[in-house]
Structure 1
Amino acid sequence: MHINVKQIAAAATFAVLAQPVLAEDVALSLISQAPGSSWYSYGSTFGEIISASDGDFNIAVEVLPRGGGMTNPVAASQGVADLAFASANAAVWARDGIGEDFEGRKSEDIRAVVGGLQIAHSTIAARKAYVESTGKDTLEAMMAGPDYPTIVMKPQGSQVPIMADYMFEAMGSGLEDMRDKGAITQISTAQIAQMLRDGTADVYIENSPVGQATMTEVTLTTDMVFIPFPQEVLDHMTALGAPAGPMPAGSYPGQDGDYVNPTSATILIANKDVSADVIYQVTKALVEQRDAIAEAYPALADWDPQAGAQPDQAVIELHEGAARYYRERGWIE
């Protein structure tokens, strides 16, 4: 019998090529917040989308039910988590090691995956009655004294006091200085609306997405005026990862025009050492399921993945895997 060696070799080669290429198993952890929070809910959906994604990897995502805006950048930088939700401004503070929470310990190993998921707005709202009785309709006038308004905001642990400190810093003051002048009252959100209603507070500083419950209650139960931000504050906050942007007219009662303010986006970040090929697949999966994400979470309905890839929304350096995907889409150079 004549054996055709070439045919046997060709057949063997075909058999090898015909075998399905097995995707590599990869486990990723995603730190969010405690159950019941929006970030935990987002994490569950993002994890499902990533785990179901097509590509070279079978990715299994574990959502860590802990963390927060100030701790997640550190967790991602230290490799405690591979992926993390973070506030854009806090990511900048952590990366650069600035502010009380991060001073002396830079978290330089974080990179952006998707930006601009949900925009929070910094707002300064004053009781209309206070403005009319004092004539103080600017932040400069309110900070000039000698009679200072009672400014209410959330207690320590929130980003709001930190944001306020940076705002005052841009005007040559600071949170401690304003506190020493008797102008600052930090209370729970449950008390803020009541104090403004009964006139024991004059000004409310907040950082939240449009529709946040406390701001909605305040503006529905008390006539409020939105106080404009001085340009030096907007410039300072932009440098600190909170770029200026508009809160659309009519977002709240008493807000007739677009309100230009420091904004802070929720972003998804990763440790820089996570494989670029893995992050490419993660980015592709999330962007291409944008409509499904928006349908599941109306708060994310305004997410524009192309805008989120830009420096003003991604804020920190893009992960090389995410950057590769965005370049393929023609969204970045």
Structure 2
Amino acid sequence: MKRRNLSKGGLEMFARRKIGSWVILFALVLALMVGGLCLDKGYAALKEPVHLRFASFAIGGSWYIYASAIAKLVRPNLPEGSTIDVLPYQGGIGNPLLLKRGKAEIALSFLPCSKWAYDGLSPYKEPIKELRALVGGLNRPHRVGVLIRKASGIESLRQVVEQKLPVRIVTAQVGATGQAVAMQVLHAYGITREKLKSWGGSLEHVRMPVAMSRIKDGFADIIIHNVGYKEPRFSELCLRVPIKFMEISKEMRQKLAEKYGYMTGLYFKAGEFKGIKQDIPAIGYPTGVITTKELPDEVAYIITKSICENPKDLGNAHASLKVFDPKTAWKPEKNGIPLHPGAIEYYKDKGWMPE
């Protein structure tokens, strides 16, 4: 074998190269080890199968699609034999109650519903302090809409109060999120069923198809409800009947946001619905994933990670999920209630949430 003839300088250079190579190799191995620990932190700690019930809403609706897509992402990251059953109930108001009663382990929830439940605000009879958030801001937020039939000649709810107009108002049925939202808006303006009746008006709580028909057929003047971006039923309403989208005043928006947890800085966009010629400021709320403090930290970590690391898959499942930003999913204004410790750990591991 031919020997290398190295000078003293050559030996030093050779040694430095060798040491440098080992340092680089060690750093790469360490990075992979740390990365692997972070990646599989929750999974590694789980030994037994996990069985989860995921509360959503009616089959075929957006929430059922959301929950099904999320369940599909989470299942492969749970121990073998684990299950996630997507429940086609109870919706915005009911899902926090399912968690409280132990009828579900995780649930979709509107931002304000989570806050109302946690704080014990109406329609909840007592605080549900065990609620915890996992992921906030999943979708494009619904806006609180006060839609007025133009033929009524009414311009605003303030006008109704000041002039004691005999206005006919419809909302969703009692127990629906939209009905709770409508009552909060009406109360903020000082409008009650008794006052409306004394002015010759009325307030009806009916199922949404009935409420929409009331407006279309001229048997109601105002409908108050949560409105999704370019939501088809409201698009159809605006095509059938000239509708005015009332702007809730800045002062009132702030008041409602502070008390009930609504997001500010939202808009009904110009051209979104027929008759909207310029952006109209609004309040509203996105959907999030919530649980209780009883959910093991490892499971919470896995669920949060599975959602946040697959935004493209979520967007492919439903168009309204395309706006989901995992880096801001931890923020208080997107959740309304405290984060679960397992979710906090994930967001801090990613460097998105400050220590």
Q: The TM-score by the shorter chain falls in which range?
A: 0.7 to 0.9
In terms of fraction of residues, the more helix-rich structure is 2
Partner of 2:8: none
* Distance (whole Å) between structure 1 residues aligned to residue 45 and residue 330 of structure 2: 31
Count of aligned positions: 306
C-alpha contact (below 8 Å) 1:237/1:243 kept by paired residues = no
C-alpha contact (below 8 Å) 1:139/1:228 kept by paired residues = no
* SS of corresponding position for 2:77: coil
CA, structure 1 residues 198+37, in 2 after alignment: closer, same or farther (shift >3 Å)?
closer
Q: 1:102 aligns with which of 124, 141, 154?
A: 124
* SS of corresponding position for 2:129: coil
Amino acid at match of 2:155: D
* Distance (whole Å) between structure 1 residues aligned to residue 45 and residue 215 of structure 2: 62
Give the TM-score normalised by structure 1: 0.83
CA, structure 1 residues 176+95, in 2 after alignment: closer, same or farther (shift >3 Å)?
farther
* Distance (whole Å) between structure 2 residues aligned to residue 52 and residue 179 of structure 1: 57
* CA deviation map 1:175-209 (0-9, x unaligned): 55445642323333334444334433222211131
> What residue ranges of structure 1 are gaps of 5+ in the alignment?
1-20
* Distance (whole Å) between structure 2 residues aligned to residue 175 and residue 287 of structure 1: 44
- Matched residues, percent identical? 26
The Cα RMSD (Å) is: 2.4
Which is greater in Rg? 2
Partner of 1:14: none
C-alpha contact (below 8 Å) 1:49/1:285 kept by paired residues = yes
Amino acid at match of 2:257: T
* Distance (whole Å) between structure 1 residues aligned to residue 296 and residue 350 of structure 2: 20
* Distance (whole Å) between structure 1 residues aligned to residue 194 and residue 137 of structure 2: 31
Partner of 2:29: none
CA, structure 1 residues 23+280, in 2 after alignment: closer, same or farther (shift >3 Å)?
closer
C-alpha contact (below 8 Å) 2:145/2:224 kept by paired residues = yes
* SS of corresponding position for 1:63: strand
Equivalent residue runs for 1:38-53 within 5 Å? 38-53=62-77
* CA deviation map 1:112-157 (0-9, x unaligned): 11111232111112122333xxxx4232112223323222222213
Give the TM-score normalised by structure 2: 0.78
Partner of 2:146: 124
> What residue ranges of structure 2 are gaps of 5+ in the alignment?
1-43
* Distance (whole Å) between structure 2 residues aligned to residue 176 and residue 289 of structure 1: 50
**Is residue 32 from structure 1 mapped to residue 53 from structure 2 by the alignment?**
no
- Structure 1 residue 252, shift from structure 2 partner: 1.0
Equivalent residue runs for 1:136-151 within 5 Å? 136-151=154-169
* Distance (whole Å) between structure 1 residues aligned to residue 162 and residue 309 of structure 2: 51
* Distance (whole Å) between structure 1 residues aligned to residue 156 and residue 303 of structure 2: 45
Amino acid at match of 2:156: T
**Is residue 70 from structure 1 mapped to residue 93 from structure 2 by the alignment?**
yes
C-alpha contact (below 8 Å) 2:263/2:333 kept by paired residues = yes
Amino acid at match of 2:165: D
* Distance (whole Å) between structure 2 residues aligned to residue 304 and residue 175 of structure 1: 41
